[in-house]
Amino acid sequence: MTETQTFTKRTTAPFRFDVVGSFLRPTTLKNARAKYADGEITATDLKKVEDEAIIHLIKQEEAAGIQSITDGEFRRSWWHLDFFWGLQGVKKVVVDKGYVFNDEETRAETSELTGKLSGESHPFVEHFKFLRAHLADPATAKQTIPAPAQFIAELHRPENIESTRKFYATDKELITDIAAAYKKVALDLYDAGLRVLQIDDCTWGMLAGSHAGAKTGDGAGQIAQEKLDAAKELYVTVNNAFLEGLPEDLIVTTHDCRGNYHSTWASAGGYESVAEPLFTREKVAAFFLEYDNDRSGGFEPLAKVGDNQIVVLGLITTKNGELEDKNAVINRIHEAAKYVPLDRLALSTQCGFASTEEGNVITEDQQWAKIALVKEVSEEVWGK
């Protein structure tokens, strides 16, 4: 930080030093989940292990200086599917093929509709209450959930579309009920004390770059472009349908990435093709953006971000344990500041450390070293 620059003190999320939210599962928790799956322990036994692991994680987060604290997603198998399965009218389904990533294929599970959607009695509400009850400062609690766009994308998967159309003939009807179900969960979380909600969203990353389809040329390219435009409109519409009308003091941010499974990725390409409408129309307070390597493209699309929105630069990768060069990270922050004022920027890890229970190929010591680096860099750039 130079002597001539002063920055707004951030007292609400996102903070200058922040994290996405998921953490590596400890071995004790992984073993307990495996035993539960094999019928060797009860759900009560598993919950006890989860509770102990989360309490220990909270202490680690607080010691690291993190101000937006999560439960590490320790009660989940997936960053997104567990939330979907907790909604009324949804069931867990095993399918033939998992999600395809760069180097491997995921477990083959999805979410299928069994009836009309609603958000009553979602288990995440009780999970949040446990987190908040064990924090030194309850105001530091952050809840992560998958974005509504991620849910509608899941329901549009080829193996799911038949059951989706059985209950919702049109996407307009589906959007209405998704938004209502999500709002019910969000308001229940709000009543339980939540003031910081993060919606995690890979849909934009899947549309960007190599997943956007052909852009120019023959008729096939034009069809691909039309499909891209339709998908972008669908995603921003369903996300905003949920965001509109939420309590004014509920801070809602979004994390947009290109896939994170066992240190592999699912998409490559910059934000250019999705900056409109993601950065111009989505009504969130801040964007947590993946920017840890060339797959994420340049900072130029950030010029489209609204003047009242924060950009949290995910410059520290969670996909490997190699520690970034501090000066290189600082230089990249200043590059981004050409498009978004430095006062509206913050720093975080590029993604969570364990978007699924498998976790990334990184050690716990490396995980906490990454977090310490985010804190060190943020203090050098913006001050304490």
What structural domains and CATH numbers belong to the chain? 17-382 (3.20.20.210)
Q: Which residues of the chain have pLDDT under 70?
A: 1-4, 209-223
Residues in the chain: 384
Q: Which residues contact 78 (CB under 8 A, 6 or more apart)?
A: 109, 355, 356, 357
Q: What's the pLDDT score for residue 281? A: 98
Single-letter code of the amino acid located at 94? V
pTM (two decimals): 0.94
Q: Which residues contact 158 (CB under 8 A, 6 or more apart)?
A: none
For the chain, report the end-to-end CA distance as a whole number of angstroms. 10
22 closest CA partner among 355, 260, 259? 355
pLDDT digit string, tens, across residues 55-77: 999 999 999 999 999 999 999 99
Rounded distance between C-alpha atoms, residue 69 and residue 50, angstroms: 16
Q: Which residues contact 66 (CB under 8 A, 6 or more apart)?
A: 17, 18, 19, 140, 371
Q: What's the pLDDT score for residue 67? A: 97
Q: Give DSSP secondary structure letters for 256-287.
A: E-S--BTTB-S----STTTHHHHHHH---SEE
Q: What's the pLDDT score for residue 219? A: 36
* CA dihedral of residues 378, 354, 182, 129 (deg, nearest 10): -80
Q: What's the pLDDT score for residue 213? A: 32
Q: What's the pLDDT score for residue 265? A: 84
Tell the burial category of 172 from Cβ atoms under 10 Å away from its Cβ (0-12, 13-18, 19+).
exposed
Q: What angle do CA 212, 215, 218 make, to 5 degrees?
A: 130
Q: What's the pLDDT score for residue 208? A: 84
